[in-house]
Amino acid sequence: MKTAIEVHDLTVTYNQKPALWDIDFDIPDGALVGIIGPNGSGKSTLVKSMMGIVEPSSGWVKIFDQDIEQVRHKVSYVPQRESVDWDFPTNVMDVVLMGRYGRSGLFRRLSKKDKRIAAESLEKVGMLQFAQRQIAQLSGGQQQRVFMARALAEQAEMYLMDEPFAGVDAATENSIFEVFQEIRDSGKTMMVVHHDLQSAAKYFDYIVLLNTRLIAAGPTEEVFTQELLQEAYGGKLSILDQIHAIIEQKGYPVRES
């Protein structure tokens, strides 16, 4: 099976304190991957390292067996909503059309096809009726959906999304995960930083479980076990209690310590 992402001995430090420590794993092409772990475990740092936004102290990341600079045009990145200036004076459609410039060139006139793809992307996330709305007038969840529509409009080979469901209601989350699964089924790779363990068990077919170091990476049924979740989340037993029924329902193996 073709490898989409290879992370080798990756260490990232902030002010001499490790945010990620000696991370090593591969992701197969065409997988829908959840990056999960407790707050401060390095999930966002991992995605930023993949995008070349933060420099590692050691180790490296390969995407499609190349450095990010050689394949950046194949990768779509959705950062956390808090990192975006939402007061910038532009409307929803214009934001989504920005996702087409990688295809058409920054100074080339956008085509009818570009506009059709942008409209289809907005429709997929339930935001087409807001196409002419100023982004500053949207709620946080609506803004997040617009950014996801922009990513979809890029029609990339890989999608890296950092907490895309923050502020999004459960019904919208379900519908967008259906879109993600369609993208996965078309042979593309998606990595999603996600905090909700219950929906992680339901939606992802591959899990990267972090807590500064790599706890495990692999198919969900191999990683989503009580033993490995306990190792990642420590004494937060209330979280583990919430997912115990899901583990039993889905028939995932339960490893006793």
pLDDT single digits (tens) 112-156 = 999 999 999 999 888 999 999 998 898 888 888 888 899 999 999
pLDDT tens, position by position, 74-90: 999 988 866 666 677 78
- CATH class for domain 3-250? alpha beta
What one-letter code names the amino acid at 248? E
pLDDT tens, position by position, 159-171: 999 988 887 888 8
Nearest to 41 by CA among 208, 179, 183, 154: 208
User: Quick one: what percent of the chain has pLDDT higher than 90?
Assistant: 54
Average pLDDT, the chain: 86
Question: DSSP of 155-218, one letter per residue?
Answer: T-SEEEEESTTTT--HHHHHHHHHHHHHHHHTT-EEEEE---HHHHHHH-SEEEEEESEEEEEE
The greatest distance separating any two alpha carbons of the chain, rounded to the nearest whole angstrom, comes to: 61
The Cα 79–Cα 190 span in angstroms is 14
> Binning pLDDT at 50, 70 and 90, where does residue 175 land?
confident
Any residues with CB less than 8 A from the CB of 129 and at least 6 apart, and which?
A: none
Residue 5: what are its φ and ψ, rounded to 5°? -135, 135
The domain spans of the chain are 3-250
C-alpha distances out from residue 75 to 163, 166, 233, Å? 17, 21, 30
Q: Model's pTM, two decimal places?
A: 0.85
Q: Helices 140-153 and 112-124, interaxial angle, to 10°?
A: 140
